[in-house]
Amino acid sequence: MNRRNFVVGTALVVPSLFAGCLDGTSGGDPSRPDPGDISIDGRVHNEMDEPHTFEVRVETENGYALADDAYEVPGGGTERIAGIGVPGATQTFTIAVDGTEHSETLSLAIEPADHVVDGYVDIRYTTAGEIELAVTPRSESTDPDSVPVLTGYSVSDSVVRPDVERDSETDSWGLFLASRRTATEYFGDVDDSAVEEFIAETAFDEGDRLVYVQASAPQTCYELALSAEPSIDTNGVPVVDTEVTRTASADEACGDAVTPVDLLVRLSFDVDGPPADVVVVRVTGSAGTQREGFQLEAER
């Protein structure tokens, strides 16, 4: 099995509600925007009938690369890129598709609000073979026909940590798994029959997805649980709200050790509707005041 390394902050979108939870620098580089300010996503639209690869590079005014990657988009399809823009900023977008390159500097005139995503930069490869860019505020972005339909959810009675190596053992993180192949890659070596059964019962081909979340508890007598039913927010994004809760009574002693707590949830979506490509996870700490939020892209 290939172990995967997770770096805190990768593909992270945190609304202003959560600003201050994360360090705003990367490797000591002061030119990186605060992660709490990067609240504009990208949407890559392929209007051709055949698949195309989009090479996307996004730079801030001072030259920091918010995105620099390639995305394969099926014919007539759309892929989402998390965290490529800062509201009110001016950024340069350089897009290349099949030898056609387009570079444009955009003013992201979007007002930030307490939302996970404040808007989008829409990148289109048209049927004429041209590349077009547009800035879409959140208020104009919700298309009912493009919103996944959540039909139900289940929580696993047992949870084990997947096969992942990480740089931090204290920051909250997670996985959004959209295929049996990726579920097997992460959980194939775990020795827990209940988890194996839970994954086996997940009908990925019929719209099911798995969400794994891990957080940190201040003592040993805590667990991670849903704080509300999973839902679709007003921006059309699935949201999973969790909280770190005490499992022992107030007069019962707990071990004084920072302890990882985790949760495995199955989300079921209407297979005839748009696929769920991202999920937002929110974690409320044991004191009820510390909150973290992050967005996970579906792994297929």
List pLDDT tens digits, range 11-45: 333 333 333 333 333 344 547 888 778 889 899 99
Q: What CA–CA distance (Å, rounded) separates 231 from 152?
A: 9
pLDDT at residue 144, as a whole number: 58
pLDDT of residue 275: 83
pLDDT value of residue 105: 97
Write down the pLDDT at residue 226.
Answer: 96
DSSP state of 193: H
Q: According to the model, what pLDDT value does residue 1 have?
A: 31
Q: Dihedrals φ, ψ of 149, to 5°?
A: -105, 115
Residue 7 has pLDDT above 60, yes or no: no
- For residue 114, pLDDT over 60 is answered with yes
Q: Residue 149: which residues within 8 A CB-CB, separation 6 or more?
A: 232, 269, 270, 273
CA distance 121 to 195: 39
75 torsion bin: left (phi>0), alpha (psi -120 to 50), beta (else)? beta
The confidence score (pLDDT) of residue 118 equals 84
Mean pLDDT across the chain: 84
pLDDT tens digits along 69-81: 999 998 988 888 8
Interval 192-235: pLDDT, tens? 899 999 999 999 999 999 999 999 999 999 999 999 999 998 77
When pLDDT is averaged across residues 157-163 and rounded to a whole number, the result is 90
Contacts of 160 (CB under 8 A, 6+ apart): 187, 190, 191, 192, 195
| Residue 138 pLDDT grade (very low, low, confident, very high; cuts 50, 70, 90) | confident
Question: Mean pLDDT throughout 164-185?
Answer: 87
- Distance in angstroms (rounded) separating the CA atoms of residues 83 and 96: 19
pLDDT at 167 over 50: yes
**Above pLDDT 70, what percent of the chain?**
86
pTM of the model: 0.60
Confidence of residue 289 (pLDDT cuts 50, 70, 90): low
Per-residue confidence band for 279, with pLDDT thresholds at 50, 70 and 90: very high
Residue 141: per-residue pLDDT: 63
